Amino acid sequence: MTQVHSRGWLMSLGWLALAACGTASAPDAGTPAPTSTASGPTPMASLDVPAPQPTTTVSCPAGQEHQPGKGCVYAAEGTPPTGKGATMRPVPRGRTADEPEGTLVQSFWIDERGATAADYQACVKAGACAKLETIEGCDWKVAGKEGEAVNCVSWHHAKAYCAWAGKRLPTDAEWDRAAAKHEDYGITGLGGQLASWIGHRYCSEAIGGCGRAYPVRGHDKPAARDRYRPEHAYTWFGVRCAWSETAPPAPGEPVPLLPLRISTPGQILCNTTLCDLSTSVCCHNTKDGLGRCVPKGKRMCRSPELHTECDEHADCGGGKNCCPYWGCSWGCDEERVCIDGPCEQGGEICLPGGQCRPGFKCGAEPGARRGRCGWDDRGAWCGTKRCSGDERICCLPEGKSVGYCTKGDCKPKERTLHCASPRDCGGATCGANVVMGAPPEVNDGSLGCIGVSHMLSIVACDTLQDCPRHPPTGTEPKACRHTKGLPRGVKECIYFDDAP
């Protein structure tokens, strides 16, 4: 302590001496300031100012920024909405592939997980989303699965959900960008059992632009890509939303479809084009609503295109009919081909307002691009009158020869007649099939317009010429006459002597 006080006293004397001498004269501009080489006490200023510290610079990989307490994290512009659905993860600006030609994608945010059943239910309760199917395999509103990813979602459902959450559906390029490093970005569930809808239409050079289907991404593999029509809502379809300050540009519009009513023999309405039958056939794309003409005789249609060689009866000629042909047994899209005789798997193909064979007319739903030829329904003869108008069906009570007309279902143990003559079916068969092993109420002998098959049990007729060979046995018909159980005046083909 003595040394400290002694030093302070000496320094005080020094300041007093300077004050007594007054202010020192400034040296001339041309005179250099004297330089002291003698060591002396440390100046006061250097005692009060801390020495400068070196600056530490944190270098983060491309696409990341340093945040205090978090280190290097991926960054995207803007602040995404919160409070509805999954937390969002940033995906930095970059290309969809390592190569320079990879698509450049601006930074965006994407849900860290797919929407759950509870998330979607909240949207339904808010009145912003439609209810989903509750059939087998769909987990919405299934007890105990509220926290699982929602499925059975159509594109329309997915779009409405993301809009309610203040977000949007991702683009194809954004999905590719997220799939490349999804684990690094903190995104889960890509490449799982559910696929997610993309916001814009499917576009590809292979289909000549943008179709009418929408991509679904991430089923089984993160980068997996397929396309479906927007109304499809399969059990492997879910939803995951994206967001960015500036919405990405939409791709081109789909190729416009041709007008519905084009009925010219020898020309095929091929969705987006017309094909001349004399030189080509049509390959129509079932998912995208696109069509193209290929040289006749060469099956050049690529999946999911289907071969098409007619769109109405008049295209076939030679007594052939334009018939649907399915390559599967579970209701897939049909090809359209010309075959001899009546169609085996349903009504003859026709265009709305187009041509069918004599006695048939084209029935198509409003706005449908094609229809089916059905018989020109005249109503069934019912014993004393012909059923007509809204009441075209004849109901024949058991043991009676005169029935009554209705537009609904007949009562139990009553025979239902949609026809009573081949003339009621435009020349096709008016008859009944027998279903082996079915209960009596199925094999009740009700008559309808059907195709000839080996299962025919009854064939209505006006004359013997209306009767074909007996379908199961090939036996020639013996008579065309009235039998017990048919309305008065209605006849059937007799093949055996013991017919009642």
Q: Does 191 lie in the same domain as 160?
A: yes
Q: Is the pLDDT of residue 498 over 80?
A: no
- Which pLDDT tens digit goes with each residue over 432-466? 887 766 666 667 788 988 766 667 788 999 999 88
3-state secondary structure (DSSP) of residue 161? helix
User: Chain-wide mean pLDDT for the chain?
Assistant: 81
pLDDT of residue 18: 35
Q: Does any domain span residue 21?
A: no
Q: Does any domain span residue 25?
A: no
Residue recorded with tokens 């599967």: 328
What distance lies between CA 87 and its chain's CA centroid? Answer: 26
Last residue of a domain, one of 339, 374, 409: 374
Q: Is the pLDDT of residue 20 over 80?
A: no
Last residue of a domain, one of 374, 401, 428: 374
Q: Which domain holds residue 234?
A: 64-243
Q: Does 96 lie in the same domain as 172?
A: yes
3-state secondary structure (DSSP) of residue 72? strand
CATH code, domain with 89: 3.90.1580.10
Give the angle 438-443-448 at the CA atoms, nearest 5°.
130
Q: Does any domain span residue 162?
A: yes
Distance (Å) of CA 149 to CA 50, 191, 203, 495: 59, 13, 28, 62
Q: Does 215 lie in the same domain as 171?
A: yes
Q: Is the pLDDT of residue 1 over 70?
A: no
- Which pLDDT tens digit goes with each residue over 172-231? 999 999 999 999 999 999 998 899 999 999 988 877 788 889 999 999 999 999 999 899
Q: What is the amino acid identity at position 240?
A: R
Q: Does 199 lie in the same domain as 146?
A: yes
- Which pLDDT tens digit goes with each residue over 250-277? 888 888 888 776 678 888 888 888 999 8
Q: Does 239 lie in the same domain as 96?
A: yes
- Which pLDDT tens digit goes with each residue over 290-305? 888 999 877 678 878 8
Q: Does 286 lie in the same domain as 203?
A: no
Q: Please give the average per-residue pLDDT across 23-38, as a whole number.
A: 43
- Which residues, at least 6 apart from 230, have a Cβ–Cβ distance to it below 8 Å? 154, 155, 156, 213, 214
Q: Give 327's Cβ-side CA count (13 Å radius).
A: 10
In whole angstroms, what is the distance from residue 17 CA to residue 21 CA? 6
Q: Does any domain span residue 295?
A: yes
pLDDT of residue 328: 59
> What phi-psi label fits residue 331: left (phi over 0), alpha (psi between -120 and 50 degrees) or beta?
left
The count of domains in the chain is 3
Last residue of a domain, one of 211, 243, 275: 243
pLDDT of residue 417: 93
Q: Does any domain span residue 201?
A: yes
Q: Does 490 lie in the same domain as 412?
A: yes
Banded pLDDT at 427 (limits 50, 70, 90):
low
Q: In b/e form, how buried is each residue of 432-467, taking b as 16+ CB within 10 angstroms?
A: bbeeeeeeeeeebbbbbbbbbeeebebbbbeeeebb
Nearest in space to 200 (alpha carbons), one of 189, 209, 208: 209
Share of residues in the chain with pLDDT > 90 (%): 37
Q: Does 354 lie in the same domain as 237?
A: no
pLDDT of residue 262: 67
Q: Does any domain span residue 259?
A: no
Residue recorded with tokens 């079916």: 425
Cβ(326)–Cβ(305) below 8 Å:
no
Banded pLDDT at 3 (limits 50, 70, 90):
very low
Banded pLDDT at 30 (limits 50, 70, 90):
very low
More confident residue, 356 or 160: 160
What secondary structure letter does DSSP report for 296?
A: T
**Separation of first and last alpha carbons in the chain:** 140
Q: Does 203 lie in the same domain as 122?
A: yes
Q: Give 83's Cβ-side CA count (13 Å radius).
A: 4
Q: Is the pLDDT of residue 69 over 90?
A: no
Q: Does any domain span residue 187?
A: yes
More confident residue, 11 or 384: 384
pLDDT of residue 452: 65
- Which pLDDT tens digit goes with each residue over 105-149? 999 999 999 999 999 999 999 999 999 988 888 988 899 999 999
Nearest in space to 395 (alpha carbons), one of 415, 377, 378: 415
- Which pLDDT tens digit goes with each residue over 140-151? 889 999 999 999
In whole angstroms, what is the distance from residue 153 CA to residue 232 CA? 8
Q: Does 210 lie in the same domain as 133?
A: yes
> What phi-psi label fits residue 182: left (phi over 0), alpha (psi between -120 and 50 degrees) or beta?
alpha
Q: Does 405 lie in the same domain as 359?
A: no
Q: Does 189 lie in the same domain as 338?
A: no
What secondary structure letter does DSSP report for 471?
A: T
Q: Does any domain span residue 14?
A: no
